[in-house]
Structure 1
Amino acid sequence: MELKVNRIQQGAVPYKDLPEYDVWAQFRSGNAQAFGFIYSTYFPILYNYGRQFTSDSDLVKDTIQDLFIYLQEKKAGLAEVSSIKFYLYKAYKNRIVRQLTQNRLSPEKLDYDDGRGFEIAFSEESGGIGEMFDDELRQKMERAFAQLTKRQKEIIIYYFYEGFSYAEITALMGFAKIDYARILMSRTILKLRKELGESRFVLNMLVLALLIGK
């Protein structure tokens, strides 16, 4: 089935300025422009996310299309959401993992089949935590992050890059309790401390992740 998306016209409602729950409510009520805004905004974001799980770009794109077709068909019965990005990430991860499982990939390969998986960018242009330190420390961080497991990289990206709360991370990573997400973050930060020593950056991360944790 081909997905038809109405592009937002000049002078249309500035959806990027609306609260996400309002954009989602308009989409659920049948507003084609709201759907077009969600699709055009999140397709490239979901594509980058999907590439963390597999290098098969066609599978990544097809899974995104399937997700949006489902959303378009079932919109009237969808629940209200306060974060469109979190909703789409969770729905997309469920679909891509299920698709990879159906393709009979081993559990090891399922955890990012080409060995990449949740790579972390440290260039100043990439923004996020990369812009917080100079070239020398950036190189040290790259070496330290290379020592993390894929799950540890995943939680760092969800928390520091995507801005997800511990409750959202718990749902995304399939933890039974929110405490498990906090424990994983704590162990990840401690591992970075071991690799980097008592740098100011790592201490700042500890404060953010463990003391002011969302």
Structure 2
Amino acid sequence: MDNPVLLNKVIEGDIEAYSLLYKEYYRKLYNYGRKFSHDTALVEDCIQEIFFDLWSRRDKLKRIDSLNSYLYSAFRYTLIKRLKEQQRLSLREEHEEDATFEFSVENVIIEQEQNAEDHKSLKEACKFLTPRQYEAIFLRYYEKLSYQEVADILKISVKATYKIMARSISTLKDNIKLLLFLC
């Protein structure tokens, strides 16, 4: 996903490159933000805010190793900060209230092809994940980020990311088996 050529053009002040970057990341960040809040206006405002900051601070972008990690981390930080400021929802409350998956268009097609029972079991099993596990699974498998990028976004080590993923998958497997056994 990282595009160093596009990033270099943005650093140089190329407004068209900036527009392409915005178009490339808008939907991804929007989908990610909806995991934290159902307030679409808030999610969109946060996307606008990070892209405004990106443009106004483009001279400092030369130090960015991974544009992907930078944008997701900045967006996550901004959104969580705004949620706390507004005292509407915390990350934990959001995931406890609604532990269902929200799928992108591509995933909706895949979902329709899957067995209905398997989908129901997976959905139920996700309720047993902690908010941190749920977020890690989402970033790794739905956003297709690397373990390093997930670690950067969650502000943990890569080793801790592997542990969270292993525990998450183990929890999902155990609970799916249990749910299938009970049915």
Please confirm whether the aligned pair reaches a TM-score higher than 0.5, indicating the same fold.
yes
TM-score bracket for the superposition, by shorter chain length: 0.7 to 0.9
Q: What's the secondary structure of 2:27's corresponding residue?
A: helix
Number of aligned residue pairs:
176
Other-structure match for 2:21: 38
- Asked if 1:54 is matched to 2:34, the reply is no
- Asked if 1:141 is matched to 2:122, the reply is yes
Give me the TM-score of the superposition, normalised by structure 1. 0.70
1:62-211 equivalences in 2 (<5 Å): 62-79=45-62, 81=64, 83-104=66-87, 109-111=89-91, 113-114=93-94, 115-116=97-98, 119-121=101-103, 125-126=107-108, 130=111, 133-175=114-156, 177-197=157-177
Q: Structure 1: any 5+ residue segments left out of the alignment?
A: 1-15, 199-214
> More relative contact order in 1 or in 2 (CA 8 Å, sep 6+)?
2
**Taking structure 1 as reference, are residues 192 and 173 closer, same or farther at Cα in structure 2, changes over 3 Å only?**
same
Cα distance in structure 1, aligned partners of 2:59 and 2:113: 43
1:2-21 equivalences in 2 (<5 Å): 20-21=3-4
Whether the aligned pair in 2 keeps the contact of 1:54 and 1:113 (CA below 8 Å) is no
Name whichever of 55-64 and 132-141 sits farther off. 132-141
Q: Structure 2: any 5+ residue segments left out of the alignment?
A: 179-183
Deviation at 1:92, TM superposition (A): 0.5
**Taking structure 1 as reference, are residues 63 and 112 closer, same or farther at Cα in structure 2, changes over 3 Å only?**
farther
Give me the TM-score of the superposition, normalised by structure 2. 0.80
**Taking structure 1 as reference, are residues 97 and 124 closer, same or farther at Cα in structure 2, changes over 3 Å only?**
closer
**Taking structure 1 as reference, are residues 98 and 82 closer, same or farther at Cα in structure 2, changes over 3 Å only?**
same
Whether the aligned pair in 2 keeps the contact of 1:118 and 1:154 (CA below 8 Å) is no
Report the aligned-residue RMSD: 2.9
Cα distance in structure 1, aligned partners of 2:163 and 2:102: 21
When you count helix as a share of all residues, which structure comes out higher?
Answer: 2
Seq. identity, %: 25
